[in-house]
Structure 1
Amino acid sequence: MSFVPEPALASPRIAQVAAAVEAGDRSALDALWQEVEASGAPLMEQVEEDDSRTLVTFLWRDPGATENVLVVLYSAPSDGDLSKYTMDTVTGTDLWYKSYFLPSNLRTTYLLSVNDSLEPYDSYADVLARLPGYRPDPLNPRDFPIFGNEQNKYIVSVLELPAAPGQPWNVARRGVAKGKTQLTTMDSTILGTQHHVGVHVPPGYDPDGDDYDVFLLFDGWAYYNFANVTTVLDNLLHTGRIPPYVLVMHSNLDQQVRARELPCHPPFHDFLRDELMPWLRENYNVTKDPQRTVVGGSCFGGLAAAYVAHRSPDLFGNVISQSGSFWWPGRNSELEDEWLTRQYERSPRLPIRFALEIGSLEGPIGEFDPMTTHRNMHDVLQERGYPVDYSEYAGGHDLICWRGSLVDRLLSFHTDRRPAVTR
């Protein structure tokens, strides 16, 4: 799904300002900026009888020398002509705007590109190369870091429409016992790289009692810092929705190493099998049962989860993939397109359960088509007889979405558990 901006002045509020300014009255403009300062942008207006769509108007206040402002919703526009995505102006004012009708249940992120070159993107690499020139919306106080560290975060602006699904499990609750998290680093002999590993044990963890279920999560640093995943597990355990898990949060050293090691990389699988999992079992009271072991991640992490389970179903019996990169390897590779999907298609059915999801906005980006390739993987798994929980949520390739939907994917493995009665 992609969204095209409204070509005409669709916002009643902006139309009111434009009419007042044309009549020589600038008080409506002043009132708008005062409202934005108090409540933030973008504007959201219900202008149709059908409340499934909301008119969203993005704003820019021109400090001077603005030539254009490009709204980058989820990903860069891919149809070549970028001019139709740039903001319009109210003549004689500092007000720039662009309106979209968007699903009222949408949660996503966006950026602005001020004085953009408007050169069409010719590849996904081109999109990534231009990202550092984009900026969060200075009129929107709701922002979100998607990667980086405390000193150097990459910040995007958050857009949450009125009917966006709640994310109550990510918020710490009074009276819920908290588990304990220990962070460490691990040097891999197999890979020759260093790995950050965080292990979260549930409240009341007993090293000598019954063994614990395992959840291995790639890009763990991001899920830990920006998705409150340990709080999620504590809350779900408190209500009886899941068994007690030992959560293993794995993170690569940097983005370059991540891009090499996560996408179907045999030595990374060997690192998990021969170094990380033995270390975990030596230091924590965890199960060896693959049916009680979950491996998951997003983007390359979702691809990696499906890959390592295919290689070692005796270790990993449950896979969570959030917007997995099943298009891999892409251009300039000797491997065939959608390589991992083809492996599942040609292999005997393995004892693995899947929980897959992708955002409705994840259309083609340059040479990649995440939605089509994700559906192809889903269809192959179903044809081969795998149990698959599948969802297409309203949003993009966004941790702001994954942080909430991760709950649904994990719960799909525990449909037999009834919520506990809490007071």
Structure 2
Amino acid sequence: MPRKTDTDLKLPHRLQERVARYLYQKWVEFPDDLPFSSLLDRLRRAPRLCRPAIAERFRRYHRSPHVEGEKAAFFYVGSAREVCVAGDFNHWQPHHMKQVAGSPFYYLIRRFPRDARLDYKLIIDGTWHLDPNNPRQVPGGYGANSELRMPDYTDPPAFARRKEEIRGTLRFLQLESKIYQRMRSIILYLPPDYTQERTYPALYIHDGGEYLSLAGLHLTVEGMIERGEIEPIVLVMVPPLYRTIEYAMNRIYERFIVKEVVPFAEREARLSPRPQDRGLLGPSLGGLISTFIALRNPDCFGRVIGQSSAFQWQGGRILDLVRKTERKPIEFVLDCGIFEGIIQINRRMRDLLLRKGYPLTWAEYPEGHSWGSWRAHAGWAIEQHWGRKRKRAPSAMPLPRETDVTNRQ
């Protein structure tokens, strides 16, 4: 008679229950504050039949990414052939997540500054997804992203105290452009208690539709006005028509802003005609075109805010414009995220403007090239120009310490 193998043996039902209970208690029951490294060790050492339950228990009681000090562990639990993560920290280039053998648990560990804030998404079997185990989301130009907040990150005060509704007025207008031979949309924000009895400074905003819908800038600005942090200001939001073409230091678009948008806005609202009361704001290419227009039209604009400005465009030609021209009566506020590929050229522009003697205020954040960053810090930037307690930006300010952003696993 052939001998039975171990796989042919069947345990009595009660013994099966006792074995299952023992395995569950030994491997699946663990403290909620189990360190991530201990979780990985448990997953690897546990019998394979226990690993899915261990992964599911961790997923149920922990958000992704799981943060411990400077370490953030992105993780995913589910059936998949391949899982990647892409975000601000890797310039949106998908990085593969490791799978614990015999389990549905995928993970990737990275180190970040303790006050970092980053956008990211998961790519599961080639399809981009929000992280299903992370309730935090932020709006983006291509849809919402999941958000990582490290332990010491806090929203800037102006953004944290933004209003839910406005008392001011939003006006959606149409400008008949002779330059473009078509109608162009213009959005005006008038502050609370706006009156024709005085004039107001104006901020002309590129990517105006996004600053309205994704950043809610009017909500941030109105909160600052009502708290007395900035003087009342009018926002002139200009949505682009052909963004990449118009914002690439395009002289036709420059004429459109200077010759048509400014006169149109000043017919529609009581705006100060002084250059120091007119500013330009934009993110990325919007920061580039803001700088370009102001440098070529200092008799029209005296203030610039550039968020993550795309100064690298056309080989950094905008830096040559600064080098070859005399200093103009313009004040700059520039910021950039340390996880952006353009941080170095933004620092070069900062240094160049300071050497030329321009009043400049600079900030860099442990963030990336995203609306999550721009919407949070736009209020601070506006306060540097129109704050009630603002100090004139020095023309030779000490430069901030540069931050090492090398990822170490």
Q: Which has the larger radius of gyration?
A: 2
CA deviations over 1:209-238 (Å, ceiling 9, x no partner): 110110111111111112111111111111
Deviation at 1:96, TM superposition (A): 0.7
Amino acid aligned to 1:143: Q
**Cα separation, 2, equivalents of 1:247 and 1:134:** 35
Amino acid aligned to 2:84: L
CA deviations over 1:42-91 (Å, ceiling 9, x no partner): 21123xxxxxx2x1111122334x1x222212165699xx7xx3111111
Q: Secondary structure at the match of 1:134?
A: strand
Q: How does 1:245-256 map to 2 (within 5 A)?
A: 245-253=233-241
Query: 2:133 maps to what in 1?
Result: 139
Match among 372, 381, 385 for residue 409 of structure 1: 381
Deviation at 1:248, TM superposition (A): 0.8
Query: 2:319 maps to what in 1?
Result: 341
Amino acid aligned to 1:342: D
Query: 2:22 maps to what in 1?
Result: none
Deviation at 1:293, TM superposition (A): 1.3
Q: Indicate how the Cα distance of structure 1 residues 157 and 78 shifts in structure 2: closer, same or farther if over 3 A, else same.
A: closer
**Cα separation, 1, equivalents of 2:77 and 2:85:** 14
Amino acid aligned to 2:85: V
What is the RMSD computed on CA atoms of the aligned residues? 2.4
Q: Indicate how the Cα distance of structure 1 residues 222 and 77 shifts in structure 2: closer, same or farther if over 3 A, else same.
A: closer
Query: 2:397 maps to what in 1?
Result: none
Query: 1:398 maps to what in 2?
Result: 370
Deviation at 1:13, TM superposition (A): 5.1
Match among 105, 108, 112 for residue 122 of structure 2: 112
Structure 2: which 5+ residue stretches go unaligned? 1-34, 391-409
Query: 1:62 maps to what in 2?
Result: 78
* Residues 1:350 and 2:328 aligned together: yes
Q: With structure 2 as the length reference, what TM-score do the two structures score? A: 0.80
Query: 1:271 maps to what in 2?
Result: 256
Q: Secondary structure at the match of 2:171?
A: strand
Amino acid aligned to 1:321: G
Match among 340, 343, 362 for residue 362 of structure 1: 340
* Residues 1:29 and 2:39 aligned together: no
* Residues 1:101 and 2:111 aligned together: yes
**Cα separation, 2, equivalents of 1:267 and 1:232:** 32
Q: Indicate how the Cα distance of structure 1 residues 173 and 357 shifts in structure 2: closer, same or farther if over 3 A, else same.
A: closer
Query: 1:205 maps to what in 2?
Result: 194
Do 1:169 and 1:231's aligned partners in 2 also have CA atoms closer than 8 Å? no
Match among 266, 269, 276 for residue 284 of structure 1: 269
Q: Secondary structure at the match of 1:413?
A: helix
Deviation at 1:198, TM superposition (A): 1.1
Query: 1:45 maps to what in 2?
Result: 68
* Residues 1:12 and 2:45 aligned together: no
Deviation at 1:33, TM superposition (A): 2.3
Do 1:176 and 1:235's aligned partners in 2 also have CA atoms closer than 8 Å? no
Q: Indicate how the Cα distance of structure 1 residues 108 and 192 shifts in structure 2: closer, same or farther if over 3 A, else same.
A: farther
CA deviations over 1:372-417 (Å, ceiling 9, x no partner): 2212211111111000101111101011011121122112224552
Deviation at 1:296, TM superposition (A): 0.6
**Cα separation, 2, equivalents of 1:246 and 1:409:** 15
* Residues 1:86 and 2:102 aligned together: no
Do 2:91 and 2:340's aligned partners in 1 also have CA atoms closer than 8 Å? no
**Cα separation, 1, equivalents of 2:204 and 2:353:** 22
Deviation at 1:188, TM superposition (A): 2.3
User: In proportion to residue count, which structure has more helix?
Assistant: 2
Do 1:109 and 1:400's aligned partners in 2 also have CA atoms closer than 8 Å? yes
| Mean Cα deviation higher: 20-29 or 136-145 | 20-29
Q: Secondary structure at the match of 1:41?
A: coil
Amino acid aligned to 2:185: H
Query: 1:163 maps to what in 2?
Result: 152
Match among 350, 369, 373 for residue 345 of structure 2: 373
Deviation at 1:195, TM superposition (A): 3.1
Do 1:298 and 1:322's aligned partners in 2 also have CA atoms closer than 8 Å? yes
Match among 319, 326, 332 for residue 304 of structure 2: 319
Match among 360, 365, 387 for residue 388 of structure 1: 360
Q: Secondary structure at the match of 1:386?
A: coil
Q: Indicate how the Cα distance of structure 1 residues 347 and 173 shifts in structure 2: closer, same or farther if over 3 A, else same.
A: closer
Count of equivalent residues:
355
Do 1:16 and 1:28's aligned partners in 2 also have CA atoms closer than 8 Å? no
